[in-house]
Structure 1
Amino acid sequence: MAPCRLYTLKSPFFLKQISDIPRTNPRGTHFSNSSSMNKAVSIISMQQNFTRSKSTLNDDIHIRHAKELKNVKKIFIEKAKERSVDGLYMIDMIQRLGIEHHFEEEIQEAVRKQYLKIGTHSYYNIDHNLQLSEVALQFRLLRQQLCDIDTGVFGNFMDKKGRLRQKFWGDTEGLIELFEASQLSIEGEDDLHEAGNFTYHLLNSRFHDHHEANVIANTLKYPIHKSLPRWWKELGLAKDFKLARDEPIKWYMWSMACLTDPVFSEERIELTKPLSLVYIIDDIFDVYGSLDELTVFVDAVNRWDLGATEQLPDYLKACFKALYDITNEFSIRVQNKHGWNPIKTLIKSWIRLCNAFLEEAKWLSSGKLPNREEYLENGIVSTGVEVCLVHAFFMLGEGITNETLVLMDGFPPLVSSTSTILRLCHDLEGAKDNDQVGKDGSYLTCYMNDHPGVSEETAREHIKHKISDAWKCLNKECFTPTNPFPSSFAKVCLNAARMVPIMYSYENCSRSRLKEHVKSLLYGDGIREMILQKDQSLVL
């Protein structure tokens, strides 16, 4: 995306250290290797075809891919040995490029050594030459890898009142990294949260004429933790792409966002099926069905009984039949692959969703809106996020235990916080477009109804605070080592939350910019063959 960093590399300052122009970093240590960047990019250009279209490749491509990957890993290890922070710069670059699945062992080892090196906070207290950018990067990457690191590492950069010392206000690189680190704050880390707010306002107000002004603006709008990594240009989309109202592509975009590893081709397609049903059933409740028909439909879902739809119109019969069949087929597939049959949990998630849709239909029919708490409690269910994440959890097949099954039945915080982010962002951004404001209300509308006389600006600020709190909750769930769910599932939840700004990015009262984001993915060199034959069967 040309104007948006959700899909493009941000061109952060550290990338200049591996560009074609040698550069000295703030500590005076030369760190330049243009071949490392070139090799990484060559992996990007080849690896999609390597993993998704093996039948079309010759042996030379396989050999080149293996050699280039080996060379980059060698560079990675050498740089990490020379200076550990350079290893962290490499990790950051690799993650921003979205190719970390090639370097899982190397990343784990580099982070482990860095964590052992810092030991206690005395490391930061003794080495007063550490740069703010380095410490902030260390904090972010170590926390991402579930290392036990707290905000005390920033002590040397704060004054007695806990605010960033004035001497660092002009350190643009340090401010950017501190802002990025603040996005991983959890509940109770008010000092880091406030530091993030301060750096945001500082960068937003003082660096308009800076030579990296565009980088700064993109960072503030799309912090890396809350955005998707750069996607490959050869991403497996339709050969002759026409997005206009092309819902299957929209549904598949969610799957691609949540499951970024190329090995998950089959899983992406399977996840698209329940995703499509969420959208279809939502449309039925919003546009097509009468309240009486919808009540009978939900009763059939609650009973999970095909025979209960006899009195319904054909389109509702067909919808429930599709829901019934797809759910059962999915359960059989999971059981055959992973040894667990998730049918009971899946049915419960669909029952919750359809009952939430029905509640919204009743609000629409009565013309009476609920209070904001009632709306949000129902609204985080009606997003459909729970249904999709439950399917993703079983599809991955990791960490399925009696404990996680019980948690999944009860809408765990890992899922509910992701749902909250989507619901509030949708209501906040969608309200800018009059066509997107449903008569069944929004959190913004309900909040203003509950607080007569409050301005819309005040209500929006309240929603932004709630979104920030939901992100803190999600961070806590993802970065707590005692989290009962596997890291692979936590990553799916994070990526779902990161996808929200694309799906609901309304600017200047215009619709979501999803269309231009997806189309820009196709404007790469040599984009001709985009998708496997099996990926062309996305439509139900």
Structure 2
Amino acid sequence: MSFQQEVIRPLRYMQPSVWGDQFLIYNKKAQLADEVDRLVDDLKEEVRKDILAALDVPEEHTRLLKLIDTIQRLGISYYFEEDIDKALQHVYEAYGDDWNGSNPSLWFRLLRQHGFYISCDVFDNFKDEQGAFKESLTSDVEELLELYEATHMRVQGETVLDEALIFTRTRLAEIAKDPIRSNSTMSSHIQEALEQPLRKRLPRLEALRYIHFYQQASHNESLLKLAKLGFNMLQSLHKMELSQLSKWWKGIDVPNNLPYARDRLVESYFWALGVYFEPKYSLARIFLTKVIAMATVIDDTYDAYGTYEELEIFTEAVMRWSVTCLDMLPGYMKLIYQRLLDMYKEMEEILEKEGKTDLFNCAKEFMKTFIKGYMMEAKWLHEGYIPTTEEHASVAYVTGGGSILITSCFLGMADIVTDRSIKWALTEPPLFKASSKIGRLLNDIAGHKEEQERKHFPSSVESYKKQYDVTEEYAYDLLHKQIEDVWKDVNRESLLCKDVSMPILMVTVNLIRTLEVLYKDNDNFTHAGEEFISHINSLLIHAISI
């Protein structure tokens, strides 16, 4: 007598999408009136004249830097990319490392953000004869805040900035609690900066925050109006893209066909939007969203449903990458595999026309490596093996997704991705590894407690606890310190990589910033918290009142 053995699966309950189908239909409004387009063009021209006027007068260069900073924080720098590049190049050529204007912290932060590796020696002037930071710095709260923001552009070995961070963080925390020294607006401004410095903020979320702040303060009316109009025009484009993606995702029907997997299309689009929000990256955003959404389903298949034997078969099929492998797969895996092949085939046809087959092949190979990493995690879990921190890193940083996500980001960026950029990506440079490491550590910290409630591949937290015999809290602190150190590496690589353009480098920086938002307090990608839901509502549902 024969009988079929029941398959025991590592199931978990997965919350449904909190968004339902609300983004499925995009009610395209009438085209923006010609007068609105003309108004935007007129406002842009006003701002451009202001940049040029300040550029021609050395005494106005501090004001020029403040103007550029405001433009960037209002989220409209994509209107003035060439003007800003020329202005900062001019400032760099005029002063080098010897800035003699006011507000050296702003000068330092802006130039480093744009790839100029200027010296941090200017901050030695902030110290007294005993080598401590002057207490007189605390008399100007805005200047102190600028110094705090500048410290987040530091690289390894810049002790003066490490010390400046401790000094400013401590003094700002004290000022924020003192009603005599800071009003409620300034106190809120300080607390937001302490929680998440500018270097780690997503440009779209900073634009929302700063438009409100700028409106309350003394402001340039043209800049404010342009920021509001620009935000709403972009939001309309983003809603259209999300509607298109929702129709594609509806065809997969995750809740019914793959109920064990996370139905997280909107969160995947937020991720892509964090990487680049500008109009010219529409195709790139759409493809990156598909990669993230599918990678999430694959992650859940390895983590929460597939048996070890099924996962071996799926891994082999991915390595072969051929439609002929469909017949060897279990029923539920056929849908995943077919959609994966279709998704890449669609992008391959576009990139062939652009002459970027090498980039496509690179992204596809990283997807294979990514899935191979999941198989190694499944193998260790199957064998009950807890890897050392070094062994864990060798695999977990692959499944952290830096390489697959960054190369996927490049697909659809058109001519901005040059042959030199592709060669750089093929070497799997330090920036890729830094992104993977931060992503893995943030994910492990955010999801650690939930993952320990079931059989799961051990996180970085568990590996540290076992190898060094430390408490959970101590392991968290160690990992947070590692994240801070990796940010220094990100800053350094952003300054040293001369083979690729700044937009390419900013893809990686913005990817890491997005991870900081998604996993700041908990796993918002899996379990959207109130603050994250508010982000989606503000970016993709509610327009700004003009």
Q: What's the TM-score once normalised by structure 2's chain length?
A: 0.78
1:520: which partner in 2?
Answer: 538
Judge conservation of contact 1:73–1:103 (CA < 8 Å) in 2. yes
The residue number in structure 1 matching 2:353 is 336
Counterpart CA distance in 1 for 2:483 and 2:36 is 45
The 3-state SS of whatever aligns with 2:412 is helix
Q: 1:156 to 1:292 in 2, by over 3 A?
A: same
Gaps of 5+ in 2: 1-26, 209-230, 247-254, 256-261
Q: 471, 483, 492: which one pairs with 1:455?
A: 471
Bigger shift: residues 517-526 or 501-510: 501-510
Q: Which of these residues, 189, 197, 209, is aligned with residue 223 of structure 1?
A: 197
Asked whether 1:187 is paired with 2:156, we answer yes
Gap change, CA 1:113 and 1:475, over 3 Å in 2? same
Aligned to 2:79: 102
Alpha-carbon distance change, 161 to 301 in structure 1, aligned in 2, over 3 angstroms: farther
Query: What does 1:178-217 correspond to in 2, within 5 Å?
Result: 178-209=147-178, 210-211=182-183, 212-217=186-191
**1:215 maps to amino acid:** H
What amino acid is the match of 2:39?
R
* 1:388-427 correspondence runs (5 A): 388-398=405-415, 404-427=421-444
Q: Which amino acid aligns with 2:405?
A: C
Check whether the contact 1:433–1:506 (CA below 8 A) recurs between aligned residues: no
1:506 aligns with 2:521: yes
Separation in 2, partners of 1:219, 1:425: 19
Output the CA distance in 1 between the equivalents of 2:94 and 2:171. 32
Asked whether the 8 Å contact 2:317–2:325 carries over to 1, the reply is yes
Given that 1:164 and 1:195 are in contact with CA atoms closer than 8 Å, whether structure 2 keeps it comes out as yes
Tell me the amino acid that sits aligned with residue 469 of structure 1: D
1:283 Cα offset (Å) = 1.1
Whether contact under 8 Å (1:348, 1:409) holds in the other structure is: no
Paired residue type of 1:194? E
2:66 matched residue in structure 1: 89
> Following the alignment from structure 2 to structure 1, what is the Cα–Cα distance between the partners of residues 521 and 323?
40
Q: In structure 2, what is the Cα distance between the partners aligned to 1:159 and 1:398? A: 50
**Residue pair 1:248, 1:276 contacting (<8 A) in 2 also:** yes
Distance verdict in 2 for CA 1:223–1:438, change over 3 Å: farther
Cα separation, 2, equivalents of 1:172 and 1:67:
35
Give the RMSD, CA atoms, in angstroms: 2.9
Q: Which residue of 1 aligns with 2:495?
A: 479
Match of 2:363 in 1: 346
In the alignment, residue 536 of structure 2 is paired with which amino acid?
V
- Paired residue for 2:135, among 151, 156, 166? 166
Tell me if structure 1 keeps the 8 A contact 2:265–2:293. yes
Separation of aligned partners in 2, 1:459 and 1:295: 32
For residues 477 and 260 of structure 1, the distance between their equivalents in structure 2, rounded to whole angstroms, comes to: 23
Q: Which amino acid aligns with 1:520?
A: S
The structure 1 residue matched to 2:342, chosen from 314, 320, 325, is 325
Q: 1:137, 1:491 → 2: CA distance?
A: 19
**SS, match of residue 440 in structure 1:** coil
Q: Does the C-alpha gap of structure 1 residues 161 and 423 become closer, same or farther in structure 2, counting only changes over 3 Å?
A: farther
* Cα separation, partners in 2 of 1:445 and 1:205, compared to 1, 3 Å: farther
CA contact (8 A) 1:182 1:195 kept: yes
Matched residue type, 2:495: F
Q: 1:306 to 1:340 in 2, by over 3 A?
A: closer
Separation in structure 2 between the aligned mates of residue 195 and residue 507 of structure 1, nearest angstrom? 29
Q: Which amino acid aligns with 1:143?
A: R
Are residue 71 (structure 1) and residue 46 (structure 2) matched?
yes
Q: 1:399 to 1:249 in 2, by over 3 A?
A: closer
TM-score normalized by structure 1? 0.79
Match of 1:470 in 2: 486
Following TM superposition, by how much is the alpha carbon of 1:338 offset from its aligned partner in structure 2, in angstroms? Answer: 4.2
| Percent of pairs with identical residues | 29
CA distance, structure 1, for counterparts of residue 495 and residue 108 of structure 2: 12
Offset, 1:285 = 0.8
Give per-residue Cα distances to partners, 1:320-360, cap 9 Å, x unaligned. Answer: 22212221221221121345443431231011100111112
Contact 2:51 2:67 in 1 (8 A): yes
Match of 2:213 in 1: none
CA drift of 1:404 comes to 4.4
Deviation of 1:456 (Å): 2.6
Task: Tell me, in whole angstroms, the C-alpha distance in 2 between the residues paired with 1:156 and 1:360.
Answer: 51
CA contact (8 A) 1:417 1:474 kept: yes
Give the Å deviation of 1:373. 1.8
Contact 1:335–1:341 at 8 Å: present in 2 too?
no
Q: 1 CA distance for matches of 2:61 and 2:446? A: 41
> Per-residue displacement from partner, 1:159-211 (whole Å, max 9, x unpaired)?
35644223223432222111111111112223212311321122223431222
Following superposition, the deviation at residue 79 of structure 1 comes to 4.2
Partner amino acid, structure 1, of 2:487? W
1:141 aligns with one of 106, 110, 117: 110
The answer (yes or no) to whether the contact 1:328–1:343 under 8 Å persists in 2 is: no
- SS of equivalent to 2:88: helix
Q: What one-letter code is carried by the residue in structure 2 that aligns with 1:519?
A: N
Superposed CA deviations along residues 113-141 of structure 1, whole A, max 9, x for unmatched, are 322332443x54xxxxx55xx10000011
Aligned equivalents of 1:303, 1:339: Cα separation in 2: 22
Q: Tell me, yes or no, if structure 1 residue 278 matches structure 2 residue 295.
A: yes
Matched, 1:300 2:275: no
Q: 1-side partners of 2:96 and 2:406: how far apart?
A: 37
Cross-structure match for 2:125: 156
Q: Match for 1:68: what amino acid?
A: L
Greater alpha carbon shift after TM alignment, 259-268 vs 468-477:
259-268
Output the amino acid matched with 1:348: E
- CA offset at residue 53 of structure 1? 7.8
Question: Which residue type is aligned with residue 449 of structure 1?
Answer: K
Equivalent in the alignment of 2:214: none
CA distance in structure 2 between the partners assigned to 1:315 and 1:436 by the alignment: 26
Does the 8 Å CA contact 2:420/2:500 hold for their aligned counterparts?
no
Cα contact 1:398–1:486 (8 A) shared by 2: no
Instruction: Say if 2:424 and 2:499, in contact at 8 Å, map to a contact too.
Output: no
Superposed CA offset, 1:497-530 (max 9, x none): 1111221132699854422221233334579xxx
Following superposition of structure 1 onto structure 2, how do residues 228-239 of structure 1 map, counting pairs within 5 Å?
228-229=202-203, 230=207, 232=231, 235=235, 236-237=238-239
Contact 1:380-1:419 within 8 A present in 2 as well: yes
Distance 1:516 1:57, change over 3 A: closer
Amino acid paired to 1:415: F
Aligned-partner Cα distance in 1 for 2:29–2:45: 20
**Maintained 8 Å contact 1:278/1:384:** no
Worse overlay, 203-212 or 255-264: 203-212
Aligned to 2:17: none
Check the 8 A contact 1:259/1:268 in 2, yes or no: yes
Mapped contact 1:143–1:149 kept (Cα < 8 A):
yes
- The equivalences for 1:361-372 within 5 A come to 361-372=378-389
CA separation of 1:202 and 1:428: change in aligned 2, threshold 3 A: farther
Looking at structure 1, the residues matched to 333 and 89 of structure 2 have their Cα atoms a distance apart, in angstroms, of: 55
* Rounded Cα–Cα distance in structure 1 between residues aligned with 2:522 and 2:297: 26
